[in-house]
Structure 1
């Protein structure tokens, strides 16, 4: 009997240790990995942009490059989430892609173009990019750059809670957004509750203004 009790005790200690290690991995190590991966994606973008002239000699904007699956093409800033908050935006929403930044829903509009530019991000784990998503409010700025242009969107509605099967939230004119005509829109999505995925939180925004990068940062990013 004593041997059985000792064996069970050792088994419980082992299981407890594994649980602690797993929690540490989820809470801490995936965040470290994601922060490194996101910083690397932004560095890659900035290096690429530095090698490409923002405006050709003729004075016309550089033609937009095609979005490549799993590759970064823009950087997002959300002042409401902190003036040091910036995340790379990559093409696609595969699990591996979302470990390196935010993911653009393939098939939705390109950045700044007519339609709905839709982006997803983790609420928790892998850097917690949208941990404070519920803090977003109407009128908040969401700023993106593709290396040639700053795009400032303004949030009109959200956070709106729905279920994962409600794919209409990324339609060109999302029916629950309050928009009733085509426009240049942005949709951000993340999981809800904070440590679950039974629902989604959504915010919708419209393109408020654009400006070339060589004119400096937009007003929304100035402290």
Structure 2
């Protein structure tokens, strides 16, 4: 009788554990994506509303210095045609776990969008919408387009994705200086973009990096850039 009770209890525990595992997998694979879709749509809507409401600049006055980015707030929207015609993600200031649930995150210590230096951005490979799921597909010459509501910035990928370790922080230096010599293929100041994500696909022991350089800019009043209309 005691043996039967132990077996039944153990079986019930196994069923409970199995149910919890299934629920966790559903949460990770599906529910975080639902949450991310709602959060990113909200971020993009907020940004677009801010851009509509911002005052028309006075072209006769001296241009004031740009305001510092606000932690946790949206600063731009990114498009990467290689990753799909509907691939559209907000970029927020900061790279905390909370921020990366809402979109991509700008490394706060790196350059502003379009300026000299290295505008560096992190994003999830998997979960929370899988923004960089297809990161390995990026190839030299691919466009990475961003807008801050007044200007379109078109960057061009310089190298194939580079695999490294999380401690290789030189990848987001103003002139990228990765551990592997010449991996970034940049040898002097410029207007660079760095994209980072986790590697392997469902792990975080390594990082995948892609570098790009600013190729073109144009006012949003001129419509979308060729990289998004071609």
Using structure 1 for the length normalisation, give the TM-score.
0.96
Give the 3-state SS of the residue equivalent to 2:158 in structure 1.
strand
Contact 1:61–1:148 (CA under 8 A) maintained in structure 2: no
Displacement after TM superposition at 1:143 (Å):
0.2
Q: Which runs of 4+ in 1 moved over 6 A?
A: 59-62
Structure 2 partner of 1:203: 210
Out of 123, 127, 144, the residue aligned to residue 146 of structure 2 is 144
Task: Select which of 195, 198, 215 maps to 2:222.
Answer: 215
Contact residue 69 and residue 90 of structure 1 kept, 8 A: yes
What is the Cα deviation at residue 110 of structure 1?
0.2
**Runs of 5+ unmatched residues, structure 1:** none
Aligned residue in 2 for 1:124: 126
For the pair 1:107 / 2:114, whether they are aligned, the reply is no
Partner SS state of residue 40, structure 1 = helix
Distance 1:199 1:72 in 2: 27
Structure 2 gap segments, 5+ residues each: 178-182
- Structure 2 CA distance for partners of 1:62 and 1:215, relative to 1, 3 Å: farther
CA contact (8 A) 1:56 1:62 kept: no
Q: Which residue does the alignment assign to 2:34?
A: 32
1:133 aligns with 2:140: no
Root-mean-square deviation (CA, aligned residues, Å) is 1.5
Aligned to 1:181: 188
Contact 1:54–1:147 under 8 Å retained in 2: no
Cα distance in 2 for residues equivalent to 1:177 and 1:140: 16
In 2, Cα distance between equivalents of 1:75 and 1:61: 23
Q: Secondary structure at the match of 2:161?
A: strand
The residue that corresponds to 2:167 in the other structure is 165
